[in-house]
Structures are given as structure tokens and as C-alpha cells.
Amino acid sequence: MDFDLNSEQQLLQDSVRRYVDKAYGFETRNALLKGGRNGRADNWQVFADNGWLMAALPEAYGGLGGSLQETVIIAQQLGRALVLEPYLGCAVLAAQTLVAGGSEAQKARLLPQLADGSLRLALAYSEPASRGMPLPVALRGERHGEGYRLHGRKSLVLGAPGADALLVSVQLDDVPGLSLVLLEGEFLGLDRQALPLHDGSWVEELHFDGVAIGREALLGEPGQGLEALQEGLAHATVALCAELIGVMEKTLEVTAEYLKVRQQFGVAIGSFQSLQHRMADMAAELEVARSMLHAALASVANDAPQERSRTLSATKMLISRAAKFICGQGIQLHGGIGMTEEYLIGHYYKRAIVADLQLGSADSHEAACAAALQAELGA
């Protein structure tokens, strides 16, 4: 697989970088943190106008026909600025699940609206017992007349605050296998509670108390939702890892600059050999993380589902831990200023901590890797 950017991908990278450098400085982000949830609507429209929301959507439905590589390019640059708008939850996780599992009519109706930014769609799949993994699912759909009534809970729904519609994973009583349902508008019995996360982003907790839906709300075929959900999660996991690469890159750059200007005993502290060694360790971890991201991209493009799943779990585990290490070292090398809310380096560490718990924690993915390896060795 060729990881060098072609001319169009280079233009895409440059456009996102210019935007975050110009319009998403640290002070601007702080103002957004204090002023609302998950950024601003006009910023989201900028994403749409620049084609970032449609980059990886099929051309037949209003997209640009790009691949996961375009998603990675965008996510990495957004990570450098800790962008608050829900690109990961709405433009990647929910959108790619819809691409994989929706009927032709559903995709033709919804995907163009996702591409132009007029519709925000969030995916509610995580539950307290699943801890960010696709299974198990406790949300039940009880048969009621020609439709169903939903009972249960979804937690930490990415991109849900401000979303116009929800995709929800559910276990229907009369259909084996996982199903996905599409909820548009208001529903009696659905309680949506917005919650802030440690990094300043917002999610929602959803409580379903007999929410009534018709069979037309089913996304694609009933009982066939797990494969679509896994496809959406694969894209989102790689995008989140790419975002963390951007987080680590910026942390290294900011820390290196600080070591050049901070003086002690009349010299820049960057001249101290012990601190140079720590920076070298951080840079080495970043290079390993980049290599693992490339392995994940290749696996999504080429591997069978079982092998892809194991590679993605290994990637999420390694990159999450690398991000926490690098950002934590960045705080230490800044000293006391790194612990303050008024300085940017601590915000990168907060993002690394929250990202580790999203889409399955490093520990959950490590357990998944161990289980897959054990099954392979026992076969």
C-alpha cells in the first residue's frame, strides 16, 4: 500500500492545516469551550463547504468517493488543534455505518444531507457493560403491533449533542442478530442527557423507556446490523488513532519549542542531556505509533474481517498508550506551567486520556487481542 500523499491528498492536508492554524488557535478554542457544546454550527458548515464531510462518502450519494486515507488526513490535522466539532462521531462513525448498512433508499436520502452539513447523524452503540465495544447489547426491542418498543440505555454517544438523527444498535426480540434503527425527530419515552467529558467535548446518555418505532425505522435488513457497525467502528478507530497522531505531533513541537526558550542556570533547558533523552523517547514512540497507523490502514484495505479486527485492536491499544505517554511527558517537561488550564499542553493530555476510553479502551482492546491470539493458538 502506498502511503505517500498524491497531489489531491496533499491539497486536502494543506487546506485543513491552514484552517486550524488560522481559525482554531488556543484562545479561540478556549472561547468555544466556554461558549457551547461541541463547537459552533458555522465551523461545521466550513467543514462541509471545504468538502471534508463528503471526502470519504460515495460519489453516488453526494460524496467525493475518497477512502479511509482521506479521513485519516483530515482527522490528523484536526487533532493538532484539538478541534471540538464532532467530526469523529458524526462524519466518520455514524456516516460510515450508514454507508455499510443502509438501504439504497436510506443512503440516497440521508448521505447527501450528511455531505452538505445540513444533517448531523450520531451512532448510539456503546453501553455500560460493553465499554465502547460493539457487544454485548442490552437495549431490547419488544414486538408491539407492527413495530417495536425500545427499552434500555446507551452511554457516551459521540456527536449526539446537536445531532438531528440517531442510529441505535438494538437486539430485537423476534430477530436473531444485532439490528440498527434510525430515529429521526422527537420520540416519547426517549430521554437525552448531555454530559461534558474531561477534554471539553460533550456526549449524551440515552434512556429508552418504551420508545415506539415502526419497522420502517430499521436500517437495512433486521438482524444484519453487526457487520455494518463493525465497518463504521473500523473507520472511526483508525480516524481516532490518526487524531492522536496529530495530538502527539503538536505536543512534541510545543515541548521542543519550550525547551529552547526556557532557561535555567543561564542556559536553555533543552541543552540538558537528560531532557534530550526524554524528547528522544517521545519521538521514538511517535514513530512507532505512525507505523502502527499505517498497518491499520493496510489491514482495513486488504485483510479478512477477523485479522482486521485484531490489527485494529492492537493499533488502538498501542496508539492510545503512546499518546498518554507523550502528552504526560510533555506536561512534565513544561514543569509547573504544564499543570495550568491557561496553558495548552495540559489540554492535549486531557484529550489523550479521553480518547483512550472512546471506541474501546486500550485495556479492552488488549483483552480482545489476547482472546483472538488464544483462539488462534488453540485451533
The reported pLDDT for the residue numbered 379 is 64
The reported pLDDT for the residue numbered 1 is 62
The reported pLDDT for the residue numbered 263 is 84
The reported pLDDT for the residue numbered 271 is 84
Nearest-angstrom CA–CA distance, 161 and 174:
31
Nearest-angstrom CA–CA distance, 50 and 217:
32
Residues 6+ apart with CB under 8 A from 238: 68, 71, 72, 293, 296, 297, 300, 312, 315
Looking only at the bridges linking them, the beta strands covering 263-264 and 202-213 are unpaired
The reported pLDDT for the residue numbered 57 is 97
Looking only at the bridges linking them, the beta strands covering 147-158 and 121-124 are unpaired
Q: How many helices (H) and strands (E) does the chain have?
A: 11, 9
Q: Which residues does residue 205 pair with via DSSP β-bridges, in sequence order?
A: 193
Looking only at the bridges linking them, the beta strands covering 165-172 and 140-144 are parallel
pLDDT tens for the chain, 379 residues long, are 667 889 999 999 999 999 999 999 999 999 998 877 788 999 999 999 999 999 999 999 999 999 999 999 999 999 999 999 999 999 999 999 999 999 999 999 999 999 999 999 999 999 999 989 999 999 999 999 999 999 999 999 999 999 999 999 999 999 999 999 999 988 999 999 999 999 999 999 999 999 999 999 999 999 999 999 999 999 999 999 999 999 999 999 999 999 999 988 888 888 899 999 999 999 999 999 999 999 999 999 999 999 999 999 999 999 999 999 999 999 999 998 998 988 999 999 999 999 999 999 999 999 999 998 888 888 6
Is the Cα torsion angle 364, 154, 134, 197 positive or negative in sign? negative
Q: Are 121 and 166 in contact (CB under 8 A)?
A: yes
For residue 169 the three cell numbers come to 444498535
Distance set, CA 150 to CA 43, 169, 203, 219, 264 (Å): 34, 11, 21, 15, 63
The reported pLDDT for the residue numbered 268 is 87
The reported pLDDT for the residue numbered 2 is 66
* H/E element, 307: helix 305-334
Which letter, b or e, does each residue of 336-358 get, where b requires 16 or more Cβ atoms within 10 Å of its Cβ? eebeeeebbbbbbbbbbbbbbbb
Give the domains, in start order, of the chain with CATH numbers: 5-118 (1.10.540.10), 121-222 (2.40.110.10), 224-375 (1.20.140.10)
Q: Which amino acid type is present at position 231?
A: E
Alpha-carbon torsion, ordered 133, 134, 135, 137, to 10 deg? 120
